[in-house]
């Protein structure tokens, strides 16, 4: 993800067209929602920690793995936000669809 951000930032204006900006943004949004889904699944597993059946219990090591996985997901989400910010900086003329979509979906879901 960092490489994508750096390429867009270094090459700057003119690298992407409206269609490629929209396509990249859609891929980033898909990655964001899949990341949210993985975090929710991890959190559900962690909540099952205190089940009565010992076979279903999650031990401390597994909880640490879940926390690390969630941290990686949050890092991925940060990278996604940084790429979108770089697109705003380098291709502001193609960012209108992104802004509209962000306000219609992700931002209103999380505010």
Q: pLDDT by residue (tens digit) across 19-76? A: 999 999 999 999 999 999 999 999 998 887 655 555 556 788 889 999 999 999 999 9
Mean pLDDT of 90-109: 92
Q: What local confidence, expressed as pLDDT, does residue 49 receive?
A: 64
CA 55 to CA 40: how far, in whole Å? 22
- How far is residue 53 from each of residues 49, 56, 63, 110, measured CA to CA in Å? 10, 6, 17, 35
How far out from the chain centre does Cα 110 lie? 13
Report if pTM > 0.75.
yes
Q: What is the CA radius of gyration of the chain?
A: 18
């Amino acid at each position: 993800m960092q490489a994508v951000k750096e390429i867009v930032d270094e090459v700057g204006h003119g690298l992407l067209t409206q269609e490629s900006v929209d396509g990249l943004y859609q891929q980033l949004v898909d990655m964001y929602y899949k990341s949210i889904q993985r975090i929710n699944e991890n959190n559900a597993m962690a909540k099952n920690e205190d089940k009565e059946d010992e076979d279903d219990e999650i031990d401390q090591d597994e909880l640490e793995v879940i926390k690390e996985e969630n941290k990686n997901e949050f890092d991925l989400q940060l990278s996604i936000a940084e790429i979108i910010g770089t697109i705003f900086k380098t291709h502001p003329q193609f960012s209108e669809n992104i802004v509209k979509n962000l306000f219609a979906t992700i931002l209103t879901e999380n505010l």
